[in-house]
Amino acid sequence: MTVQTVKLSGKEFVIVPKKDFRRLQAQAEQISAQDRGDVAEVRRRKALGPSQPYAKLRQKLGLA
């Protein structure tokens, strides 16, 4: 990947080829989809109520 940096008005910018930009954009979208799935999983677990401590769960199942 060929990268060029440019400084305009004190701000630094990066110039990349369009093909590389599209690839980076696709990777970002894929990560975002995974993050959305993680958020949905957290909401689902929170809706189930508070979790039980491991020791209490072992007692309840008769494993302690």
Q: What is the pTM of this model?
A: 0.48
Indicate if the pLDDT at residue 1 is higher than 80: no
Tally of domains in the chain: 1
Quick one: average pLDDT of 26-36?
A: 87
Residue 15: what pLDDT? 96
Alpha helices, DSSP H, located in 1-64: 18-47, 54-60
Residue 36: which pLDDT band, with cuts at 50, 70 and 90? confident
Instruction: Look at phi and psi of residue 52 and say left if phi exceeds 0, alpha if psi is from -120 to 50, else beta.
Output: beta
Instruction: Look at phi and psi of residue 26 and say left if phi exceeds 0, alpha if psi is from -120 to 50, else beta.
Output: alpha
Structural domain boundaries, residue 50: 4-60
Top-confidence residue, 31 or 43: 43
